[in-house]
Amino acid sequence: MRTRPLKVALLGCGVVGSEVARIMTTHSADLAARIGAPVELAGVAVRRPDRVRAGIDPALVTTDATALVKRGDIDVVVEVIGGIEPARTLITTAFEHGASVVSANKALIAQDGAALHAAADANEKDLYYEAAVAGAIPLIRPLRESLAGDKVNRVLGIVNGTTNFILDAMDTTGAGYQEALDEATALGYAEADPTADVEGFDAAAKAAILAGIAFHTRVRLDDVHREGMTEVTAADFASAKEMGCTIKLLAICERAADGGSVTARVHPAMIPLSHPLAGVRGAYNAVFVESDAAGQLMFYGPGAGGAPTASAVLGDLVAVCRNRLGGGRGPGESAYAALPVSPMGDVVTRYHISLDVADKPGVLAQVATVFAEHGVSIDTVRQSGKDGEASLVVVTHRASDAALGGTVEALRKLDTVRGVASIMRVEGE
Amino acid sequence: MRTRPLKVALLGCGVVGSEVARIMTTHSADLAARIGAPVELAGVAVRRPDRVRAGIDPALVTTDATALVKRGDIDVVVEVIGGIEPARTLITTAFEHGASVVSANKALIAQDGAALHAAADANEKDLYYEAAVAGAIPLIRPLRESLAGDKVNRVLGIVNGTTNFILDAMDTTGAGYQEALDEATALGYAEADPTADVEGFDAAAKAAILAGIAFHTRVRLDDVHREGMTEVTAADFASAKEMGCTIKLLAICERAADGGSVTARVHPAMIPLSHPLAGVRGAYNAVFVESDAAGQLMFYGPGAGGAPTASAVLGDLVAVCRNRLGGGRGPGESAYAALPVSPMGDVVTRYHISLDVADKPGVLAQVATVFAEHGVSIDTVRQSGKDGEASLVVVTHRASDAALGGTVEALRKLDTVRGVASIMRVEGE
């Protein structure tokens, strides 16, 4: 084994960074044996150097992250700051000064992954980011390496623990959205401002990363259709139960049937209770992958948290260190397929639509005619009502999102339709 | 991209090999883009060259596997023959003649993995075998690479599809073992001679491989305690249901609490219905991994079959080809921890024991005394009976297998114990 240590610079020492530092210390002998050389924490860049950080030599702590990545003797920069800047500039600077980079930064990779990979390539360095998607769950490496000889057609995942916690609570207790969110906040599963989670921004960043890797193409954050889950109601869960389903916030990346384009989207959807994703409880994440040869695979585990995310960061750190010792590089960006990303209107799926309608003869015929005129075939209809008010629940066969959108627009114009109570996609069948 | 192709020799062209050849042809452009050079099927060694092989150029087919691996221009040998010989000699010869090797051979890797890794190292070549454990499910790579910075404490898996199909059928239909086996055979899930599956030999080979990789130590096939599932009865499933459990044939690899030793075993066991492994149906496989930092992960998918196994083989093929182009090597054997493998007697778990006893006063006291004398603490007892015969169901707290064995031996000597109807371990709690 080489005795001269590989030097690691840690950018950020919050929940994840402090765990990375802790494990680097407590598991140092194992890491050395697995890498073939010791690894040494050579510097830790933080914003507030006066905060006590157990187990970290105060002499390593600096507020000057730029100077740290420019030192020139750093082998690997671990970026766990999050956000776009200064993380982006620091990573690029690190490549230019000879370091490889391990990042947990989903927002940055989703937005600027292509440019960062190009910077890594230009400097012949590694860029790894297993921790950016679904925390500790090995997902990037299996998609990029284990399935490199296969053709992935679909990735369907629960990639945000906060929203899964909220939806699971609504499903289990019958609570409404606000009540379940309050519980999640009280228990520390939701942040004070939960927007990034509940509006699907976090999941959309992960969907962009997963789609790009799965389909060997480039999917930008703006390419991902995004709907949050703040309007999911207890009534939706009751409807889902009647369908033998539950509701999850899903990230769905699909290759079109003709193989010529892909789509990526995040929205709440009903999935059958028999689907393996339906049983994913609490803040856990799981990603279901469908490919030509392998068939159906699922990866399950904790999608966030300091220690799980640190596990993914350290797995990447070992890989990058091994590459440096061996003189090789890991797989870079693979976007050769250059497939267009189709708009949401092209997505084909099934729909569950609840309508409030007038309780009089002929309403069902009117509604059914509107569906037929827009080419949306109805699977089942359930009608119930009293006192002049009624509800219609329509479940469609597969149709494009554009066709469904046109249908709903036309339904709203019918005098007999008082309102569209909910529209929910049905996935995973 | 390099235009000169990498040359692949395929040893074996059965269910898996023919799928490997098919995908190499149909996905050749994708494989070339992902590797950075085309791959070319340079030879196919088979036993019966007269069998028609759709899509394979007859000029490539040979019965002389030794000559094929000795050609000297082969970059990668893909071994999908199975069994110990001639596979072992062919792989060693391949290394000596400059090729790297991808194998799907669980029996060989479990028995001779150390020697084969040494041969790969001596010739500075790669040895990959993702397909040897759980078919298409990425498992070796996640354990070896993604979790390389973590400390794995436990691997608990359903790694044999045939036995899971049989047990699932028994659970679902109430059928006995023989009836479920007959159904599995009729549907092609069990072989004419099912011994390797139902007696746990197949799962034991996978347990040896998984334990070695997970704990960075060497676990030989002989180190794995093995019990088959041919004696699991419909009555056992009824008992399991009363416990809120089902029964699975599990491969269990554990690090002792003090970290100083490991165990590996295969046997049927009760697991709670709430455990993610309980929901694994039919011939699917799933492996649950517990580690210090990542927590609980699960990997799920098809554990066998031509196409799924080929997917794993081709993922390895892409990795090995990339390594050859880049001049590096993938991770080799990591057995530095050199932990002793403890015998089955040291394993600590819970037990569900059904006894046929005389229906008279004092029997429970006698039985309880025997448990106490052997240091096995009882969690619950359920007594039922009529007409002078009775049954006692005892569920214990955690105890060593040795202590439980001593208890059962002593119970059998009691006049009032007519027989020990079943002993089943309870896992995953």
Predicted confidence pLDDT, tens digits, chain B (429 residues): 788 999 999 999 999 999 999 999 999 999 999 999 999 999 999 998 888 677 899 999 999 999 999 999 999 999 999 999 999 999 999 999 999 999 999 999 999 999 999 999 999 999 999 999 998 999 999 999 999 999 999 999 999 999 999 999 999 999 999 999 999 999 999 999 999 999 999 999 999 999 999 999 999 999 999 999 999 999 999 999 999 999 999 999 999 989 899 999 999 999 999 999 999 999 999 999 999 999 999 999 998 899 999 999 999 999 999 999 988 899 889 999 999 999 999 999 999 999 999 988 889 999 999 999 999 999 999 988 767 778 999 999 999 999 999 999 999 999 999 999 999 999 998
| Dist CA A15 CA A19 (whole Å) | 7
Beta-carbon separation of A302 and B296 below 8 A:
yes
- Bridge partner residues of B389 (DSSP): B358, B386
Half-sphere exposure of A335 (CA within 13 A, CB side): 19
Which is nearest to B13 in space by CA: B77, B66, B64, B61? B61
Q: Which of B106, B125, B206, B248 is catalytic?
A: B206
Percentage of the residues of chain A whose pLDDT score is greater than 90:
90
In CATH, the number for domain B6-135+306-326 is 3.40.50.720
- Tell the burial category of B83 from Cβ atoms under 10 Å away from its Cβ (0-12, 13-18, 19+): exposed
Residue in B10, B15, B23, B145 to test binding to A, most A beta-carbons within 10 Å: B145
Instruction: Fold for A6-134+306-326, please state it.
Output: Rossmann fold (3.40.50)
Q: Which residue of A has its CA nearest to B146?
A: A315
Decide if B116 contacts B91 (C-beta within 8 A). yes
Residues of B in contact with A285 (CB under 8 A): none
Would residue B70 show up in a list of annotated catalytic residues for this protein? no
Interchain CB distance below 8 Å, A130 and B146: yes
**pLDDT of amino acid B303:** 87
Are A294 and B313 a contacting pair at CB < 8 A?
no
Query: Whole-angstrom Cα distance, residue B11 to residue A418?
Result: 68
Closest-CA residue of chain B to A151? B27
pLDDT of residue A361: 85
Q: Contacts from A410-413 at CB under 8 Å and sequence distance 24+? A: A410/A370, A410/A373, A410/A374, A411/A355, A411/A367, A411/A370
Nearest CB among B145, B292, B302 relative to A315 is that of B145
Cα–Cα distances in Å, from A270 out to A232, A240, A251, B23, B44?
Answer: 11, 6, 13, 35, 48
Nearest CA in chain A to B276: A279
Chain B positions in Cβ-Cβ contact with residue A31 (cut-off 8 Å): 149
Give the amino acid at A136. A
Q: How many CB pairs under 8 A join A and B?
A: 193
**DSSP label of A61:** E
Taking chain A (429 residues) in runs of 10, the rounded mean pLDDT of each run is 92 95 96 96 93 85 97 97 97 98 97 97 97 94 96 97 97 95 94 96 97 97 97 95 96 94 98 93 96 97 93 97 91 94 97 93 93 96 81 96 97 95 94
Residues of B in contact with A125 (CB under 8 A): none
Residues of A in Cβ contact (< 8 Å) with B314 = 148-150, 293
Q: What share of chain B is helix, strand, coil (3-state, %, to 5)?
A: 40, 25, 35
d(CA B216, CA B210): 10
DSSP B341: B
CB contact under 8 A, B150 and A314: yes
Which chain B residues contact residue A141 at CB under 8 A? Answer: 138, 141-142, 145-146
- Do A295 and B302 make contact, defined as CB atoms within 8 angstroms? yes
Q: How far is B382 from chain A (nearest CA, A)?
A: 32
Q: Which residues of A touch B39 (CB under 8 A)?
A: none
Instruction: Give me the residue from B23, B276, B328 closest to A300, CB to CB.
Output: B276
- CATH class held by domain B345-426: alpha beta
Annotated active-site residue in A206, A241, A360, A386: A206
Residues of chain A contacting residue B27, judged by C-beta atoms under 8 Å apart: 149, 151
Q: Which residue of A has its CA nearest to B324?
A: A328
Confidence (pLDDT) at A2:
83
Q: Which sequence spans correspond to the domains of chain A?
A: 6-134+306-326, 140-302, 345-426
Contact B151 A30 (CB under 8 A): yes
Of B27, B147, B313, the CB nearest to A151: B27
Q: Is B408 helix (H, G, I), strand (E, B) or coil?
A: helix
- Closest chain A residue to B213, measured at CA: A34
The pLDDT value recorded for residue B271 is 97
Please name the member of A34, A301, A327 whose beta carbon is closest to the beta carbon of B334.
A34
| Cα A356-A361-A367 angle, rounded to 5 deg | 50
Fold classification of B140-302 (topology level): Dihydrodipicolinate Reductase; domain 2 (3.30.360)
Phi-psi category of A12—alpha, beta or left, where left has phi over 0 and alpha has psi -120 to 50?
left
**In sequence order, what are the beta bridge partners of B423?**
B353
| pLDDT of res. A389 | 79
Query: How far, in whole angstroms, is CA B92 from its chain's centroid?
Result: 24
How does B295-315 read in b/e, with b if 16+ C-beta sit within 10 Å?
A: bbbbbbbbbbbbbbbbbbbbb
pLDDT of residue A360: 84
**ipTM associated with this complex:** 0.94
Residues A75, A324: contact at Cβ < 8 Å? yes
Which of A136, A216, A298 is the closest to B295 by Cβ? A136
Q: Residue A40 pairs with which residues in a beta bridge?
A: A7
Distance in Å, alpha carbon of B414 to nearest chain A alpha carbon: 46
> What's the mean per-residue pLDDT of chain A?
95
| Phi/psi at A216 (5° precision) | 55, 50
Q: Measured between CA atoms, how close is A4 to chain B, in angstroms?
A: 19
